[in-house]
Amino acid sequence: MSPDDPSQRVAQDTDSKREKPEIYKVQIDKSVFELNNPTPTGRDLLKLAGKAPAEQFAIYEKTQGGGQPIRIGLDQHVDLRKPGVERFVTLPLDQTEGLASRRQFSLPTDDAAWLENSGLEYELVSEGGVLRVVIYDLPIPPGYQVSKVDVNVRIEPGYPDAQIDMVYFHPRLCRNDGRAIAAICDDPFDGKTWQRWSRHRTPANPWRPGIDNISTHFALVESWLARELNKA
CB 220 within 8 A of CB 207: no
Q: Determine the pLDDT at residue 63.
A: 75
Q: Determine the pLDDT at residue 4.
A: 58
For residue 40, the SS3 value is coil
Q: Where are the alpha helices (DSSP H) in 67-213?
A: 109-117
CA distances 202 to 132, 199, 207, 231, Å, are 23, 10, 9, 19
Q: Determine the pLDDT at residue 97.
A: 43
Q: What is the mean pLDDT of each run of 10 residues along the chain (232 residues)?
A: 55 55 90 94 94 86 74 90 84 56 89 91 94 96 96 96 97 96 96 95 92 96 95 81
Q: Determine the pLDDT at residue 7.
A: 55
**DSSP H/E element including 192:** strand 192-197
